[in-house]
């Protein structure tokens, strides 16, 4: 039960992965270490070199014992990103990223979209109070389960199927998670989003389960939006949202839009969570091959993901210090180019580490 205690060394698995994952994760580690040493808390960080290089070298993706080892020996996992043009079918990414999400049963993907500085939103006349919602994405079902296949592949008569799996238990637990999260964070509103007007079976199940679950949370205001309207409303008036709960695919898409409303993908953190179990934290962004290796990627999404992780592990003050450092860097313009600054990835990490340890 990692998040219930803050005593003892925390064992954290670190998987930088591919592309800018290998640039931003070392910065997040640097900032975490700075805070931990300033506050005298014990973090034990163990790195795993899984990613495209390793896969191309010896065929390793997610080793068979990884899940058992993480469950028994680790409190949390910090992941960068996976994706490399040399692996066009993303085989290693599917095994490592999806493998960990599915096999560790990390059913709630929590993606806060919080505007830290009004200058960062592309929306006119919006400030910090308007953009502070969280997308809670179902993370173990939907069209991500990998069920389907090809028939007559490569011919003119080819058929491809991709199943969308929705279970009563899976839908119910993510809805309950969203309501509990809302209560725990002192918020009042949950919006469930689906496409039940078109997906007459899978999302009918979402509708019926939502109708049943919301009755248990009379203190929370429940609403529903079709996903096309949801994305439009997020842009039109983001202040109407506090917690959005939706399926795997829609949550993936909505959280990139939400990230941009709050300043961009470079800033967005996420947690893949199963309460009480070893959970995994990562920036929302991918491996960004166009900018990888140039030292310009924004490390803040990774730093904020590490802060989410520390909070999950009960290191709440350490987490706050990291967040405060990010806010300070933004307000003082100590940022990478995506946020209008002129720092490189490493310089931005150095600045955050210095600020976080003195905060
Ligand atoms: P991406 O998130 O890598 O990049 C999208 C855009 O955002 C690009 O313009 C990129 O330069 C910019 N960007 C992203 N992170 C940034 C940062 N920290 N600082 C500054 N700019 C940043 O998405 P994509 O281009 O669609 O995908 C690239 C690869 O990453 C693909 O292989 C994809 O499958 C993979 N991917 C992996 C994950 C993950 O591991 N969780 C998430 C998303 C995409
Ligand atoms: C994310 C990514 C992944 C997803 C991809 C790389 C499969 O976009 O973590 O948001 O869709 O979950
Ligand atoms: Mn995504």
Q: Assess whether the C-beta atom of 52 lies below 6 angstroms from ligand 1.
A: no
Tell me which of 195, 214, 312, 334 is the catalytic residue: 195
Tell me which of 107, 144, 179, 181 is the catalytic residue: 144
- Any idea which fold 107-273 has? Isopropylmalate Dehydrogenase (3.40.718)
pLDDT tens digits, one per residue of 44-88: 999 999 999 999 999 999 999 999 999 999 999 999 999 999 999
Instruction: Give residue 299 CA to ligand 3 midpoint distance, Å.
Output: 17
pLDDT tens digits, one per residue of 284-323: 999 999 999 999 999 999 999 999 999 999 999 999 999 9
Distance, in Å, from the CA atom of 266 to the CA atom of 225, rounded to the nearest integer, reads 28
pLDDT tens digits, one per residue of 178-232: 999 999 999 999 999 999 999 999 999 999 999 999 999 999 999 999 999 999 9
Closest CA to 190 of 111, 256, 130, 245: 245
CB atoms within 10 A of CB 6: 15
In three-state secondary structure terms, 284 is: coil
Instruction: Over range 84-110, report the average pLDDT.
Output: 97
144 catalytic residue (yes or no): yes
Sign of the Cα pseudo-torsion (263, 337, 301, 307, in order): negative
Distance, in Å, from the CA atom of 183 to the CA atom of 341, rounded to the nearest integer, reads 37
Q: Assess whether the C-beta atom of 246 lies below 6 angstroms from ligand 1.
A: no
Instruction: Give residue 22 CA to ligand 1 midpoint distance, Å.
Output: 13
Locate 245 and state its tokens: 């709960």
Instruction: Over range 90-116, report the average pLDDT.
Output: 98
**Where does the pLDDT of residue 245 fall: very low under 50, low under 70, confident under 90, or very high at 90 and above?**
very high
- Considering only CA atoms, which residue is closest to atom 40 of ligand 1? 81
49: part of which helix (H) or strand (E)? none
In three-state secondary structure terms, 120 is: helix
pLDDT tens digits, one per residue of 26-49: 999 999 999 999 999 999 999 999
Distance, in Å, from the CA atom of 300 to the CA atom of 323, rounded to the nearest integer, reads 9
Q: Are 247 and 107 in contact (CB under 8 A)?
A: no
**Where does the pLDDT of residue 4 fall: very low under 50, low under 70, confident under 90, or very high at 90 and above?**
very low
Residue 237 has pLDDT above 80, yes or no: yes
**Where does the pLDDT of residue 335 fall: very low under 50, low under 70, confident under 90, or very high at 90 and above?**
very high
Average pLDDT, the chain: 96
Residue 2 has pLDDT above 80, yes or no: no
Instruction: Over range 261-289, report the average pLDDT.
Output: 98
Q: Which residues line ligand 2 (CB under 6 A)?
A: 83, 93, 252, 284, 286
Instruction: Over range 112-135, report the average pLDDT.
Output: 98
Give residue 8's pLDDT: 73
Q: Are 283 and 83 in contact (CB under 8 A)?
A: no
312 catalytic residue (yes or no): no
Give residue 275's pLDDT: 97
Give residue 7's pLDDT: 57
Residues 6+ apart with CB under 8 A from 286: 19, 81, 82, 83
Burial (0-12, 13-18, 19+ Cβ within 10 Å), 125: exposed
Q: Are 83 and 19 in contact (CB under 8 A)?
A: yes
Residues 6+ apart with CB under 8 A from 119: none
58 catalytic residue (yes or no): no
Q: Assess whether the C-beta atom of 286 lies below 6 angstroms from ligand 1.
A: yes
Q: Where in the chain is the domain with CATH 3.40.718.10?
A: 107-273
Alpha-helical (H) ranges within the chain are 21-39, 52-58, 66-73, 91-93, 99-103, 168-184, 202-214, 227-236, 248-261, 300-312, 316-331, 345-358
Distance, in Å, from the CA atom of 130 to the CA atom of 270, rounded to the nearest integer, reads 20
- Considering only CA atoms, which residue is closest to atom 37 of ligand 1? 286
């Amino acid at each position: 039960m990692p998040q219930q205690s803050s005593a003892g060394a925390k064992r954290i698995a670190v998987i930088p992965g591919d592309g800018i994952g290998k640039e931003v994760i070392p910065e997040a580690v640097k900032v975490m270490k700075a805070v931990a040493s300033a506050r005298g808390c014990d973090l034990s960080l163990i790195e795993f070199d899984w990613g495209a290089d390793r896969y191309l070298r010896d065929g390793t993706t997610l080793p068979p014992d990884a899940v058992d080892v993480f469950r028994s020996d680790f409190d949390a996992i910090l992941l960068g990103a996976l994706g490399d043009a040399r692996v066009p079918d993303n085989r290693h990414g599917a095994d490592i990223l999806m493998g960990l999400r599915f096999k560790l049963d990390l059913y709630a993907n929590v993606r806060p979209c919080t505007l830290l500085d009004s200058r960062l939103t592309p929306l006119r006349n919006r400030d910090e109070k308007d953009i502070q919602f969280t997308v809670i994405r179902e993370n173990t079902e939907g069209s991500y389960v990998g069920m389907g296949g090809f028939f007559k592949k490569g011919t003119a008569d080819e058929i491809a199927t991709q199943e969308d799996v929705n279970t009563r238990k899976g839908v119910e637990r993510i809805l309950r998670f969203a309501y509990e999260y809302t209560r725990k964070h002192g918020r009042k509103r949950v919006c469930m989003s689906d496409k039940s007007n078109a997906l007459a079976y899978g999302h009918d199940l979402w509708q019926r389960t939502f109708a049943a679950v919301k009755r248990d949370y009379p203190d929370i205001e429940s609403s529903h939006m079709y996903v096309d309207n949801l994305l439009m409303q997020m842009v039109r008036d983001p202040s109407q949202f506090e917690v959005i709960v939706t399926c795997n695919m829609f949550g993936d898409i909505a959280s990139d839009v939400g990230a941009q409303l709050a300043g961009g993908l470079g800033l967005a953190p996420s947690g893949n969570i199963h309460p009480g179990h070893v959970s995994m934290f990562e920036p929302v962004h991918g491996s960004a091959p166009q900018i990888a290796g140039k030292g310009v990627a924004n490390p803040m999404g990774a730093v904020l993901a590490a802060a989410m992780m520390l909070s999950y592990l009960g290191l709440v003050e350490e987490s706050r210090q990291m967040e405060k450092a990010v806010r300070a860097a933004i307000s003082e313009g100590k940022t990478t180019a995506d946020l209008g600054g002129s720092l490189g990835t490493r310089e931005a990490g150095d600045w955050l580490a210095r600020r976080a340890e003195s905060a």
